[in-house]
Structure 1
């Protein structure tokens, strides 16, 4: 992992994550007949989504594995980070900004409903990783 590029990738993953979350919550509001499609997130999420940069070495190692295995590994790691971050925030600020209520597990910090979401997000971040590597390699050639 190139240490001079890592902060840029962290920034990109963080911004991409919060943008996806805003779109996700905006479209989800349609399920509740909220046609304003208001999307929302927490600033904390930028820092959490930015951590995806640390999946890149694992993504390189898993490249030859089938998509189901890779997606499952990413999903489990994302759940772990979501739980760890939620517990850390709860101890730092007194609460976890997200709460899955009755649908949640472990203090309502994670939910099994997000299994397909985290599975797909992990695979999507693989593509982002490949794209960023291509872009940054062009940058270093010039």
Structure 2
């Protein structure tokens, strides 16, 4: 893709936050279906708090990814580091929400794998997969360009209904 400007910090923050919301809605709908709490309508959910958490977390991930690549770490190692970072961001952001508003929107305390109700260690495979998928996602987000210099061609009259 040529022309245009790459997304700046705010643009990437918005894009990463939206991607995070989409991931969460898909994940919660499938997990609820698998656990019997949901149904085939696949109703997913997230929280407004999650946009800035995903946005900041994935922006930090971009910086960390560059450091790990320059250090020569393998992709598998980078995915494991990303998994640990995801747990850390989830725990710290949950603890900050508890301190700020008195509770965390997500509550994992019913799981025997929970840590203070803020993270679930049995989600490690999902965070590892997220770390693996993050690299092509970050490449895509960094490649988005806005305000292309070449205007798009106008549709040919008569091809689309008015």
Q: Is 2:86 the partner of 1:78?
A: yes
Question: What residue in structure 1 maps to residue 106 of structure 2?
Answer: 98
Q: Is 2:64 the partner of 1:58?
A: yes
Misfit runs of 4+, over 3 Å: 139-142
For structure 2, list consecutive stretches of 5 or more residues without a partner in the other structure. 1-6, 150-162
Richer in helix (by share)? 1
Name which one, 1 or 2, has greater alpha-carbon Rg. 2
TM-score in terms of structure 2 length = 0.76
Question: What residue in structure 2 maps to residue 34 of structure 1?
Answer: 39
- Is the CA contact 1:87–1:96 (under 8 Å) kept in the aligned structure 2? yes
TM-score in terms of structure 1 length = 0.86
Question: What residue in structure 1 maps to residue 154 of structure 2?
Answer: none
| Structure with the larger RCO, 1 or 2 (CA within 8 Å, 6+ apart) | 2
Report the Cα offset of residue 140 of structure 1. 8.7
Note the aligned Cα RMSD (angstroms): 2.0
Residue correspondences, number = 137
